[in-house]
Each structure stands twice: as structure tokens, then as C-alpha cells.
Copies of this chain bind each other. A is one copy, B any other.
Amino acid sequence: MSIRLGYIGLGIMGGPMVDRLLEAGHDVLVWNRSREKILPALDKGAKEAASVAELVSNVDVVLMCLTDSKAVEIVVFGEGGVASVGSKDKLLVDFSSMRPDVTRELAARLKSETGMGWVDAPVSGGAKGAVAGTLAIMAGGAEADIERVRPIVEAFSQRFTRMGESGAGQVTKLCNQIIVASNVVTMAEAVSFAEKSGVVDATKLAEALKGGWADSQPFQIMAPRFAARNTEPKIGAANTMLKDLDTARDVALENGAPVPMAALASEAFRKLSSMGLGEEDIGEIMALFDPRDEEG
């Protein structure tokens, strides 16, 4: 008997993930707080659940991607939520990003109230990765649970890695954010340093260092953007990055892990936020080193 699937939260990430599941031949029961978001999926063959409880009652595995832990808590433990009909043979896979400790609390509570398992599985790769089905997913939870959903997740993910028990997926996502944020700040300072020190056209940096140890996807995208003082492409809001970095610092503090580079990067993003640019893209970090419309 095939696994019956439900998906809650058909937003920028969840929508394309459902599309990939349907393309892979899965039956998917869907629910979203604002109903219009499920209409494209219904056109493609998804079935509608009238409520979260109805969805959970009729499936074996509940997939979910929501904005934040607040939304997750409401959907799982609110009236008529996942917990109201959960049972030990069902499994929740949560692709939302949130604090590892909050994930652990929610997962433990669902387990104790219903016996239902919880896999935290935050994703990397953005909307583009969801559409292409190439998401990297970092999972925390029981090994059996993770292996049970692996064939399903492969519909939209090229990498689904178990990192440890509950919360370990969220920790890994924070690692990702630490590295990306620190690198983005470093690249902005490197571009500014180059310009002020005699490199005439810093847009050439990405080409000059391509394929070497300084290179990375963000370097190829952000270094030319910084050098040209462009505002494209947009990656994500600076305040979202700041929130992730502050979460990482909190978690690091609780666990006695020194994170000096992440701490400094977070202060750079906090300065950006204090300049009124927090809702702008992370690429605006260049404003700390060399504002647009100013000679380098």
C-alpha cells in the first residue's frame, strides 16, 4: 500500500514542492490557510482537505512548510490542528525554518500527546530550488522516520541528509546561515578593499578568482553586484538574515560554542537594520563599506 500524503502550506516553497510530488505520481491532499493558494495544485490533480484535521485524518505522512514557529504551533496545536487527530502511525515532516529548541519542544509535545513522529527538515536552495526539485534538505529526527519519507522527499530534493535527532536539521540550517552571512559580509568588504586599493574595475574580481578557493556561488553573484552597486539579484531580506544570525548566537550561547565570525556578521546586519535598510536585500550590506552614488 502506498503512503498517503498531505501537504500543509502551499506558499513560495510548498507550492512547487506539491507540483513535484504530483508530477512524481503521488496523490496529495492539500490545505492552506488562504484557500486561493491551493487552486493551482487542485488544477494539477491535488485533492482538497476542508481542514487540517480532515487532512491529517486521511493521510499517513503530513508534509508542511510554514512561515515561522508561530504558524507551525497554531497549525499543529491549535483547535482542529494536527495534534487533534494525530496518532503514532502518522508522521509530520516540517520543512519550516525555526529555532532548534522550539522544534524540539514542539516535536516532543506532539509525540507525548499523540505518539506522532516529527522530522525537522529545513531546506536550502530557495524558491528556485523548489521549482527545479533540487532542494537540499537537512533533517533531524528518528532514522526510521527519515528513511520512511526519503522516497517521497526525493521528488523535490537532490539531497536529504539526516544530521541527528530532533532539531539537528534546524541546527544545520543555522550553520548554513552562519557561513553564508559571514561570507557575504566578507565579500562586500573585499570588494571595497579592492576598489580603494587600486583595482580599477572590481566587477572583474569574480572572473579573476573563479574556480579558486575564494570562489563560491554567492561570490559569483554578489561580488559583481557589490562592485556595480547594483540592487539585483535579490536574495532575501537583511532582517531575516539578522534574525537567523541572532538565533544562531542564542543557540551557540546555550551550548557554549564560540561564534566570533557569525557574531561580527550579525552586527554588520544590525547596523544595516539601524540604517533603515533591514527590509532591503542582504546585498545592501555593501552600503556599510561603500554607499551607492559615492566614489570608492
What is the predominant secondary structure among interface residues of chain A facing chain B? helix
Q: Which residues of chain B are within 8 angstroms of A187 by Cβ–Cβ distance? A: 179
Q: Which residues of chain B are within 8 angstroms of A158 by Cβ–Cβ distance? A: 211
Residue of A186, A192, A194, A251 contacting most chain B CB atoms (<10 Å): A186
- The smallest C-beta distance from A186 to any residue of chain B, in angstroms, reads 4
Cβ of A2 under 8 Å from chain B:
no
Cβ–Cβ contact A163 & B199, under 8 A:
yes
**Distance between Cα atoms of A187 and B136 in the complex (Å):** 18
Q: Which residues of chain B are within 8 angstroms of A197 by Cβ–Cβ distance? A: 100, 167, 171, 174, 251-252, 255, 257
Q: Which residues of chain B are within 8 angstroms of A198 by Cβ–Cβ distance? A: 100, 140, 164-165, 167-168, 171
Q: Which residues of chain B are within 8 angstroms of A200 by Cβ–Cβ distance? A: 163-165, 168
How does the 8 Å CB contact mask read for A132-150 relative to B, with 1 for contact and 0 for none? 0010101010000000000
From A13-21, A81-89, A215-223, the one touching the partner chain is: A215-223
Q: Which residues of chain B are within 8 angstroms of A204 by Cβ–Cβ distance? A: 161-163
Identify the A interface with B (CB < 8 A).
100, 124-125, 134, 136, 138, 140, 158-159, 161-165, 167-168, 171-172, 174-176, 178-180, 182-183, 185-187, 189-194, 196-201, 204-205, 207-219, 248, 251-252, 255-262, 264-265, 268, 288-289
- Pairs A–B under 8 Å by Cβ, sample size 28: A124-B212, A124-B213, A134-B211, A136-B211, A138-B209, A140-B198, A158-B211, A161-B207, A163-B199, A163-B208, A167-B197, A172-B199, A174-B193, A175-B190, A175-B191, A176-B214, A179-B209, A180-B214, A182-B183, A183-B186, A192-B258, A193-B248, A196-B255, A197-B251, A260-B268, A261-B261, A261-B264, A264-B264
